[in-house]
Structure 1
């Protein structure tokens, strides 16, 4: 991995004969005449899914049919984009257009040409492109449930995703494992999904632990409560409560709930990383999350079980220590900030109450086992429903066959409205609540949308964009940035100094004339990851450019170049690069590869 980036952040040098002056800044960019602090105004797009009482998409609405509120106040809709699917073709309306137009018109003269063009990606605007991330949480799945759902997912991807849709695949094993970055290669994705069915899943271990815990507590309670034991007879005669397993039950409960809480926090962390890596992906993002549920409150069902068995041994107030609802709300807020909708699937389908057998019943408490199991089902489904509802997605629960619900998800992908508005003031990064109203909504109709957003700082967007390029190969390069590495040099400590060259065409950079020179300002962000997946956090260098007035004509057809020296271990490394032209307000993100150590100079 990267051992160091020179000069605390980066080491840099100027190339000989370079006609501009580049300086590394310790903190902020230059100020004074010619430079101003710019406010980065961005259009906030809110995707809206409208269905009628019959559950089918409602088409034909315009901007005047909606009211958009931010933090409780109405705001004008500055951008409107409507998409609908008709006979396998996408139609769009922009602004106040009444008639929808085909997104990709096809000639009708030659039927073979029509079929060929339908199989090719449509020219979707980048801000409306669809990226679908499938996250299979093996840590919270049993193999049988996962593979049953996977068979329907493969059919869904094959039959209902369009050629222009980009798809990625990630799993939890239990750490986050990016199995395939975004691609529209359906054959490659299908092979990856088939291979995944052979991978072990971990939820069976937690299910067995829960079953054994309930059984052990029951056994201790039954043994301690036997009426042929002298101490029990004496307690009954004295009118005292019987059963000496309260301490045992409490200790076992706390150990179990703590373990479940730790595992759930790891699952939330992995989900947060997926959401974070999707942040710089342009357009709409859908995160399809498959699990056997995750607990909102760690061990909630066992708390109720022990409380009913030993009334004074535990207080249900103690459950608040194991309540993870705030973390799930923060996860949903992060997804909203990234224009990501959760589509969650409970792979268990219709569940059987596992403790409803005669052996699982508690003496003297008829029906308790069924109640405890129902609490568990609700607890495991609650986060799936919260994440979907808060982000405008859908939750698929209590369904042995998920394809009917997947078809509804496909309707969301192909039939939606995008409402855009421009904030009128600079944002401080706080969270904003969103409400969308269909003015004349008929009874039974529904309107879904993400419930809020957080405007991000330039720094946050650059960090997330660099990570997305590094981890997901999400590259956007409107500036035409090029990255090259020069031969590495071995160091005395066994590591290598690797020179990396960044080049940007001068014509893509915005320069401000001032005091006899043309000035610019650039942010350069770098992060690296080795073959074992160990990665550095993105690190920034702020640079200024000054081109003398009499030399501007010399650089018109050339490139601005900057060198940085990285200290790396031997082996292959991915390099994520983010570059922002602060004056022009444009940025680029790309990824390169460096094979360190092969043929290095000594």
Structure 2
């Protein structure tokens, strides 16, 4: 059960923030935090193929049309990438003040490959076979490529390897991954239980059919027509909860691990999920953070859920060799890949997953445009089309224009689930329990915020400082609370000194259980964020 946080906040009172001096390290540059997003230029990687599925090379920006929200927009930056190098230099900016091209003209562009291992829905032996193949193919990495490996079992995201091109270190991380526990068998047991329930309903409906229809006809059982046509994961709250955790963990990993420059790709190794719709939030976040997603189906062809069983007194017509679960799961993987411009690696293709990703990210067209968006959490469709008939373009399908509050929430979740950089751990959190009840207790929480990490703005002879404070907690079972965001506004008579600290005071109502409280403070102007955490054992 999640450790919920109940805030007693209201408006920020005059004494809720107090200034004081404290010895602190130098201020951090805004680029040190992984969750910051450059909103000036949006990059779109596009793969163009002909009618035979062969890559088409040698196109120029004039051969393609870039549409945003259904309207054609100028392609401000363009490069054809081949083997990690720009085959054609991008055009010069229209004005001297324009931002530099996002793609280098001749320098090698490495890949940043984030490997996410879903231990919640993977069966150990199936997962390990795919990780064996991944370790075998590490030799395909080029000197300019980098890889990071993380795994998720339901609590925090475990970073098995940070960004590195060291094949020996990556191999060691994959060996450690193969020793981890997995919960795929639990998901399989729940699937079997659901199938048995469906069989029971089917037999009951058939036996009570007053029209005398066959065992698959439910014309006479009004009100039950949709029982067996419900989505695979419907009515399985435990599975749905774990699916949401996987999505949150993958988003957190992308936010917390700042990749090197270059082409970003996310490889998700999983046994599949019961709901295809779960992939949409993950895909939207990946697109905004510049990741192309390649889901890898570790189970191969699913033979564990046999449709026709010897114990049945009838046969069930099904024109597929795969189970309904696998069809739903693979559709979700296809959807996740399609939204981000990637490819789903299904069935036995996972044994060559890295090779397929390396090939797919080796040659493409790199387009860039500067949107005039407002940071209002709107989704903007993006389409790249070829002017020449017979050509097909594969690219991301849209970009979510995250607001500062959403970015702060994602950044906080990244720190909560993955952990933050020690350099940015600059918040001091004090918790003083006050009153206790049977299952909850009240606590006075004070957060010391170094103002050197925020951007002061002079207005009307005074200095304004704004920030977003986000909080969440995780209990000893790995369950975490919803994120809570609080806007902070501070007016100062003069520019804050380098060692100035604002103390934020708040009363909180917490469950009486051991938990870890995490707080982040994000600068909406500079994009930097600092964080802190403390253990609470009431």
List runs of 5+ in structure 2 lacking aligned partners: 23-37, 93-102, 164-168
The aligned residue for residue 379 of structure 2 is: 431
Is 1:135–1:287's contact at 8 Å kept on the other side of the alignment? no
Distance across 2 between alignment mates of 1:16 and 1:84:
55
Q: Which one of the candidate residues 324, 343, 359 is aligned to 2:294? A: 343
How much has 1:4 moved relative to structure 2?
Answer: 6.7
How much has 1:293 moved relative to structure 2?
Answer: 3.9
Distance across 2 between alignment mates of 1:3 and 1:357:
48
How much has 1:537 moved relative to structure 2?
Answer: 1.7
Distance across 2 between alignment mates of 1:155 and 1:256:
42
The aligned residue for residue 19 of structure 2 is: 15
Q: Counterpart of 2:83 in 1: which secondary structure?
A: strand
The aligned residue for residue 270 of structure 1 is: 245
Flag the 1:16–1:422 CA change in 2: closer, same or farther, 3 A.
closer
Higher Rg of the two aligned structures:
1
Q: Counterpart of 1:371 in 2: which secondary structure?
A: coil
Flag the 1:16–1:101 CA change in 2: closer, same or farther, 3 A.
closer
How much has 1:207 moved relative to structure 2?
Answer: 5.0
How much has 1:592 moved relative to structure 2?
Answer: 2.8
How much has 1:200 moved relative to structure 2?
Answer: 5.6
Q: Which one of the candidate residues 162, 165, 179 is aligned to 2:158? A: 179
Q: Does 1:456 align with 2:424?
A: no
1:398-413 to structure 2, matched below 5 A, reads 399-413=347-361
The aligned residue for residue 146 of structure 2 is: 165
Is 1:68–1:437's contact at 8 Å kept on the other side of the alignment? yes
Distance across 2 between alignment mates of 1:189 and 1:275:
18
How much has 1:412 moved relative to structure 2?
Answer: 3.6
Q: Does 1:524 align with 2:468?
A: yes
Flag the 1:71–1:220 CA change in 2: closer, same or farther, 3 A.
closer
The aligned residue for residue 500 of structure 1 is: 447
Flag the 1:55–1:186 CA change in 2: closer, same or farther, 3 A.
farther
Q: Does 1:194 align with 2:178?
A: yes
TM-score (norm 1): 0.65
Distance across 1 between alignment mates of 2:57 and 2:499:
49
Flag the 1:94–1:5 CA change in 2: closer, same or farther, 3 A.
farther
The aligned residue for residue 155 of structure 1 is: 136
How much has 1:15 moved relative to structure 2?
Answer: 3.1
The aligned residue for residue 98 of structure 2 is: none
Q: Which shows bigger deviation, 344-353 or 207-216?
A: 207-216
The aligned residue for residue 130 of structure 1 is: 112
Flag the 1:165–1:215 CA change in 2: closer, same or farther, 3 A.
same
The aligned residue for residue 575 of structure 1 is: 518
The number of residue pairs the alignment matches comes to: 487
The aligned residue for residue 234 of structure 2 is: 261
How much has 1:153 moved relative to structure 2?
Answer: 3.2
* CA deviation vs aligned residue, 1:448-470 (integer Å, no higher than 9, x gap): 21111221222222222222233
Distance across 2 between alignment mates of 1:359 and 1:530:
46
How much has 1:68 moved relative to structure 2?
Answer: 0.6
The aligned residue for residue 102 of structure 1 is: 107
Distance across 2 between alignment mates of 1:570 and 1:330:
31
Distance across 1 between alignment mates of 2:222 and 2:354:
42
TM-score (norm 2): 0.71
List runs of 5+ in structure 1 lacking aligned partners: 19-39, 105-123, 226-231, 297-323
Distance across 2 between alignment mates of 1:427 and 1:471:
25
Distance across 1 between alignment mates of 2:471 and 2:305:
48
